[in-house]
Amino acid sequence: MPEWTQPFVDSMKDVEFSTDEEMMKVAVDLSRNNVVEGTGGPFGSVVFETDKETGKSKIFAVGANRVTTLNNSTLHGETVAIQFAQKKLQSFALKDRSGKKEYSLFTSCEPCAMCLGATFWSGVSRIVCAATKADAEAIGFDEGPVFPESYVALEKAGIRVCREVLQEEAASVLKLYAETGVIYNGQD
Amino acid sequence: MPEWTQPFVDSMKDVEFSTDEEMMKVAVDLSRNNVVEGTGGPFGSVVFETDKETGKSKIFAVGANRVTTLNNSTLHGETVAIQFAQKKLQSFALKDRSGKKEYSLFTSCEPCAMCLGATFWSGVSRIVCAATKADAEAIGFDEGPVFPESYVALEKAGIRVCREVLQEEAASVLKLYAETGVIYNGQD
């Protein structure tokens, strides 16, 4: 992750989040910073750890898109956040064996085909999305083979899905990026 | 990648491959070695670089599943091979700008939802698969939301798809793993 992320995360390390909107704001701020700092595509993600008893959540790991800056098409916001979270938990599945905590993935845009699959394997209990597939596609990004049935499969696997939280704010970051950034697709 | 892979690759560094079966044998051998050495799940992948004029191919990068051994659910054979190949090419899309070469992904098992999406972004011109989704699911792995339409989307994006090359040999590695290895799924 780029240098600016550490102070960004440190400034919120003791913050307890209560609502989806508060949590999504962190993901959208990450996406905007990534554009402004020129460190990757307009996508940010956060894994939150939630205390199931109190319902309060803390930032557990963050990710931002690093495709163009690290020459690696697998480093989307979601996959980066998932990898850091699993490294921190020292587990390939984001599950708390005591059952007291759960992990959620907040992402500034609905996942592409790869990241929807990555969510499936990550062990998160929930995925919350801001901007839509249509918002990403409107500025030229392709999201790949994501179908309504893909979301049904997530729900069937026990992953709760919530969409369009702070959608307008996240879509405005995509538009900001469209003015200056590189729109990449694997086949270009 | 585990230590055994370097001598494995070095032993074939000057080999020019001509047929899909010869190339797939490398991916299946990787998957078998990964099981025998205890370094991950029963999945191996190879990115080949093909000279379009002669039709001859060389190993460009390899990957094996490292989920359980590195506590990282994103490190499937395909994603590992793609990342090493992009690092070598110093590009986030496996495309030769001169048009003289192309890159293919050979994988010992049909891709899960994440890896099918990753293939989409990788820039490869072709994906060739050995064991089937059904073979993987027969030993307890879930492949996630992969649909016939997912493959249609790959073809539409210009990625040629070829399936069931050395399928039986690859399926036998899955069965070998089922006797000893950890079957992991994100929601377990």
pLDDT class of A89 with cuts at 50, 70, 90? very high
The verdict on a CB contact (< 8 Å) between A117 and B113 is: yes
Length of chain B: 188
| The pair of three-digit structure tokens given for residue B48, joined into one six-digit string | 């080949």
Question: Which residue type sits at A88?
Answer: K
Which of A3, A21, A22, A78 is labelled catalytic? A78
State the first-to-last Cα distance of chain A, in angstroms, to the nearest integer.
25
A149 is catalytic: no
Per DSSP (E only), the strands in A10-81 are 44-51, 57-64
Q: Given a cut of 70, is residue B59 above it in pLDDT? A: yes
Q: Given a cut of 80, is residue B188 above it in pLDDT? A: no
Look at residue A157 in the predicted model and tell me its pLDDT: 95
Report pLDDT digits (tens) over B130-161.
999 999 999 999 999 999 999 999 999 999 99
- Give the pLDDT mean for A110-135: 97
More confident residue, A176 or A188: A176
- Contact present, A57 and B152 (Cβ < 8 Å): no
3-state secondary structure of B39: coil
Radius of gyration of chain B (CA): 15
Percent of chain A with pLDDT over 90: 93
Which residues, including other chains, have CB under 8 Å from residue B3's CB and lie 6 or more apart? Answer: none
Supply the ipTM of this predicted assembly.
0.94
Which residues, including other chains, have CB under 8 Å from residue B93's CB and lie 6 or more apart? Answer: A73, A184, A186, A187, A188, B86, B121, B122, B123
pTM: 0.95
- Contact present, A122 and A94 (Cβ < 8 Å): yes
Report pLDDT digits (tens) over B38-57.
999 999 999 999 999 999 99
- Judged by a CB distance cut-off of 8 A, whether residue B186 touches chain A is yes
The verdict on a CB contact (< 8 Å) between B186 and A157 is: yes
Look at residue B85 in the predicted model and tell me its pLDDT: 98
Look at residue B63 in the predicted model and tell me its pLDDT: 97
- Contact present, A45 and A94 (Cβ < 8 Å): no
Query: Which of A183, A114, A175, A127 has its CA nearest to residue A155?
Result: A127
The C-alpha atoms of residue A115 and residue B159 are separated, in whole angstroms, by 19
Task: Show which of residues 71-100 on chain A sit within 8 Å of chain B, judged by CB atoms.
Answer: 71-74, 79, 82-83, 86-87, 89-93, 95
Q: DSSP label at B7?
A: H
Task: Show which of residues 9-28 on chain A sit within 8 Å of chain B, judged by CB atoms.
Answer: none
pLDDT class of A186 with cuts at 50, 70, 90? low
- Judged by a CB distance cut-off of 8 A, whether residue B154 touches chain A is yes
Which of chain A's residues have a Cβ under 8 Å away from the Cβ of B69?
A: none
CA distance B2 to chain A (A): 18
- Contact present, A105 and A78 (Cβ < 8 Å): yes
